[in-house]
Amino acid sequence: MSNEQRVRYNEYSAYLKNKYGEKVYKLPVNLPGTCPNRDGTLGTGGCIFCDEEGAGFECLPSSMDIPRQLEQNKAFFRKRFNARRFFAYFQAFTNTYCDLETFRQNVLAAAAVPDILGISISTRPDCISDAYLDFLKSIKEEKGLDINIELGLQTVNYHTLQRINRGHSLAEFIDAVLRTEKRSIDTVVHLILNLPWDNETDAIESAKVCSVLGVDYVKLHSLYIVKDTLLGQMYKKGEFEVISLDEYIDRVVLFLEYLDPRIVIQRLVGKGPQGSLYFCNWATSWWKIRRRIEEVMAERDTWQGKKFNYTNGAAFRTTSQPE
């Protein structure tokens, strides 16, 4: 295969076209909610980078009921992209952080909307349990829906998880992935590869942990520094610096090299929130960063999974031991 022809990473839109024969769009659903890291259960301040929108900055008002939100978003995507089939995307805050009956009603309301072929549920690794997963497994089987759970992890470095005040460590993430996979429900993992206290080793280890756990999708974004957050205050006081764009691109490329090529990259670069920001994507368009990552991979003739060689007794392969 020539350098030009090589597919550099397992890109989501190509995966969707292959799986469904067309591009499938995610319709955000915004529910009134909070998260245990804000309401006092685990803490009150939230993660140090989180603004009050709970990471759902593209959503309609949470006062609208679920079918209306989905229909309104559907009309937009139909008009703009000629879209025909959709995922309902429970995006903001922690969507499993409610009683089981409320959760069931929310999911069933979304599943009943025409042209919804799947449901994506964003949550924290410590807010998903067997009862919720059993319900999701049952509606997946009964209604033939594709279901995935999006888990915010951000980094596998549990010291950094403490510093960013996540309120959970790596173990809760591993537990949530294993329980979800046991029910044949897909997992999506959110990662930030340039958290202030992380380095290249953490990016590599994040790729390795996602790979060996068998997660299905990864979403990357760089660090956004929102004013009126603790992270914003720390940035303003000069308590940390953000790595350069070139260094960040090196980290993303390294991450991809170590990542199992089976894992689909749902997002290589995030667009960043609107509003009051100190820092977002090096003041560069997200698509320029994505293009540069792709260029760097081509220049280095590298690809996702090039260094995925560390499983199943990797040391044996350098000796005469049987694999």
The residues that touch ligand SF4, with contacts defined as CB under 6 A, are: 35, 37-38, 46-47, 50, 54-55, 93-94, 124, 152
Please report, for residues 27, 148, 162, the alpha-carbon distance to residue 42 in angstroms, rounded to integers and kept in the order given. Answer: 30, 25, 12
Shortest distance (Å) from residue 266 CB to ligand SF4: 17
Q: Which CB, 226 or 256, lies closer to ligand SF4?
A: 226
Shortest distance (Å) from residue 183 CB to ligand SF4: 23
Shortest distance (Å) from residue 39 CB to ligand SF4: 9
Considering only CA atoms, which of 50, 71, 49 is closest in space to residue 60? 71
Residues 28, 34, 37, 38: is their CA dihedral positive or negative? positive
Q: Which CB, 97 or 258, lies closer to ligand SF4?
A: 97
Give the span between the Cα atoms of 301 and 307, in whole angstroms: 13
Which amino acid makes up residue 270? Answer: G
Q: Which CB, 172 or 250, lies closer to ligand SF4?
A: 172
Q: Which CB, 46 or 305, lies closer to ligand SF4?
A: 46
Give the span between the Cα atoms of 323 and 311, in whole angstroms: 11
Q: Which CB, 35 or 145, lies closer to ligand SF4?
A: 35
Residue 217: beta bridge partners? Answer: 188, 264
Shortest distance (Å) from residue 50 CB to ligand SF4: 3
Please report, for residues 150, 206, 212, 272, 283, the alpha-carbon distance to residue 244 in angstroms, rounded to integers and kept in the order given. Answer: 28, 20, 29, 17, 12
Whether residue 184 contacts residue 146, with contact meaning beta carbons closer than 8 Å, is answered with no
Phi, psi of 289 (to 5 degrees): -65, -45
Shortest distance (Å) from residue 132 CB to ligand SF4: 17
Q: Which CB, 35 or 195, lies closer to ligand SF4?
A: 35
Token digits for 208?
Answer: 């390795």
Shortest distance (Å) from residue 249 CB to ligand SF4: 25
Q: Which CB, 50 or 145, lies closer to ligand SF4?
A: 50
Considering only CA atoms, which of 218, 217, 277, 221 is closest in space to residue 53? 277
Give the span between the Cα atoms of 281 and 269, in whole angstroms: 9
Shortest distance (Å) from residue 229 CB to ligand SF4: 10
